[in-house]
Amino acid sequence: MISIEEVKHILTLSSLEASDEELKKLQKSLSQMEEFVSQIKNADVDDEMSIENKVSMNALREDEVKDSYPVEEILMNAPKQKFNSFAVPLMMED
């Protein structure tokens, strides 16, 4: 069972927030999910094995200077933009 404190901790790690009522619901469903995935905890694996991803990984490309996408096209989807940049509220006073 995942505790309410743990739910709050992983909410913070995930940049999410929840009301008290949602917290209780999340505690229940996350505990069910955790119980399900915890089946792997007891599996016996050789400790020598590396966790390196063995799925096909090809060579990296050369680091070449290339044109990027036009800034105005990328900014088109921003909820707020200013001075050709993404706009957010002021973070620091002068």
What's the closest the beta carbon of residue 31 comes to other proteins, in angstroms? 10
SS3 of residue 85 by DSSP: strand
Nearer to other proteins, 51 or 65 (CB): 51
What's the closest the beta carbon of residue 2 comes to other proteins, in angstroms? 7
List residues binding other proteins (CB under 8 A). Answer: 2, 6-7, 9-11, 13-18, 26, 29-30, 32-41, 43, 45-46, 49, 51, 53-58, 60-61, 69, 73-74, 76-80, 86, 88-89, 91
SS3 of residue 71 by DSSP: helix
Q: Which residue, among 23, 20, 2, 1, has the nearest Cα to 11 in the 3D structure?
A: 23
Contact 8, 23 (CB under 8 A): yes
